[in-house]
Each structure stands twice: as structure tokens, then as C-alpha cells.
């Protein structure tokens, strides 16, 4: 019978180190390997800005852009823009700070602008490529969506411009 009473202890020892509750709450990063022969798309640079606090719950807590950053993003374009088209946008990762649009309308990261026709408001954004057809949808940052006054829970259509 003693062999059976040690079984749980032996199983725990075989599983490795027992983690404390603080260690269990930390996110675990995992590496992914490319399994196809297709060329890997380069990863986008991390967005600038301050990450939202860990316990963020409201849009104000998630949107960490400053008044100066919002004013700069709302400034009219300096010109030299080219219209890329329109796209339906959904709210992107709210924990990713800054003004950005992940869209299949571009093949390389570049500066651009989005315009929400319903309000006439626009935002200067970093355009980041994602896979999909040009007619596919895009993901927009919380800060940009708030700046153009688009409803956060809708799927609005925006005009996308490169350059400026």
C-alpha cells in the first residue's frame, strides 16, 4: 500500500517544478515554427505607445494615447496621398497601443490615413499588411476608431489612403 500512497508525489516530481500561484498567472510565450514552404511574412514592428494597464476594462483605460498624439493623428494630411480603397473594419487588439490599421490593402508597412465618411473624421495611422484579398476586412486600433468616432461594436466602412 505504501507504493500507492507515494504515487501522487512521484507523478508531481515527474511533471517537473511545481509553480507558485504568482508564476501560474504569468503569460507563457510560445514559439511557432513555419511548417510550410511559403515565404514567411515579416513581423510588424511593435506599436509605439504605452501598453494599457493589466486590469483595463473600459475603452478609456485601453486607449493610452495622449492628447498630443491624438491631435497629431487628427491633423490633416500634408498631401501626396494615394487612395487605396475602402475596407470594412473591426476593432483590433485593444491592448496594442497607437494608431494603426492592419489591412490587406498594403503589401508593406507604411504611413497612411483612414477616413470615416459618416463623421468626416480622419486619423493618421500606420498601415500594416495582413494576408487576404483586397476585398477582405481590416482591423483598426482602438485609438484610431475613437478618433474617427466610429462605433466600437459596429463594422464600419472606412476609406484608406497611403502616404501623406
* Torsion angle, alpha carbons of 59, 113, 134, 33, to 10: -60
The answer to the question of residue 117 being in a domain is yes
3-state secondary structure of 46: coil
Q: What is the pLDDT of residues 47-91, one digit of tens each?
A: 456 777 777 777 777 887 888 888 888 777 667 889 999 999 999
CB 141 within 8 A of CB 98: yes
The answer to the question of residue 104 being in a domain is yes
CB 113 within 8 A of CB 63: no
- What pTM was computed for the model? 0.64
**Domain interval for residue 132:** 59-162
Residue 80 CA to residue 122 CA, distance in Å, equals 16
The answer to the question of residue 8 being in a domain is no
Q: What is the pLDDT of residues 109-161, one digit of tens each?
A: 999 999 999 999 999 999 999 999 988 899 999 999 999 999 999 999 999 99
The answer to the question of residue 49 being in a domain is no
The answer to the question of residue 52 being in a domain is no
Q: Give CB contacts under 8 A, 24+ apart, made by 128-131.
A: 128/44, 128/100, 128/101, 128/102, 128/103, 129/41, 129/102, 129/103, 129/104, 130/102, 130/103, 130/104, 131/41, 131/104
| Number of domains observed in the structure of the chain | 1
Q: What is the pLDDT of residues 26-55, one digit of tens each?
A: 444 434 444 433 344 433 334 456 777 777
**Residue 55 is placed in which grid cell?**
486590469
We report the CATH number of the domain holding residue 80 as 2.40.40.10
3-state secondary structure of 109: coil
The answer to the question of residue 126 being in a domain is yes
The answer to the question of residue 135 being in a domain is yes
Non-local CB neighbours of 78 within 8 Å, separated by 6+ positions? 164
Residue 39 CA to residue 42 CA, distance in Å, equals 9
Residue 140 CA to residue 128 CA, distance in Å, equals 10
**Residue 72 is placed in which grid cell?**
497629431
Amino acid at each position: 500500500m505504501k507504493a500507492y500512497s507515494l504515487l501522487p508525489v512521484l507523478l508531481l516530481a515527474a511533471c517537473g517544478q511545481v509553480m507558485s500561484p504568482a508564476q501560474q498567472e504569468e503569460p507563457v510565450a510560445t514559439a511557432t515554427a513555419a511548417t510550410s514552404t511559403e515565404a514567411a511574412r515579416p513581423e510588424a514592428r511593435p506599436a509605439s505607445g504605452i501598453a494599457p494597464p493589466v486590469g483595463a476594462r473600459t475603452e478609456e483605460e485601453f486607449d493610452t494615447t495622449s492628447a498630443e498624439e491624438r491631435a497629431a493623428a487628427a491633423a490633416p494630411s500634408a498631401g501626396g496621398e494615394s487612395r487605396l480603397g475602402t475596407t470594412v473594419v473591426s476593432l483590433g487588439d485593444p491592448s496594442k497601443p497607437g494608431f494603426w490599421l492592419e489591412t490587406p490593402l498594403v503589401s508593406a508597412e507604411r504611413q497612411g490615413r483612414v477616413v470615416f465618411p459618416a463623421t468626416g473624421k480622419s486619423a493618421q495611422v500606420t498601415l500594416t499588411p495582413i494576408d487576404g484579398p483586397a476585398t477582405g476586412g481590416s482591423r483598426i486600433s482602438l485609438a484610431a476608431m475613437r478618433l474617427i468616432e466610429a462605433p466600437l461594436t459596429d463594422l464600419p466602412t472606412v476609406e484608406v489612403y497611403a502616404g501623406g
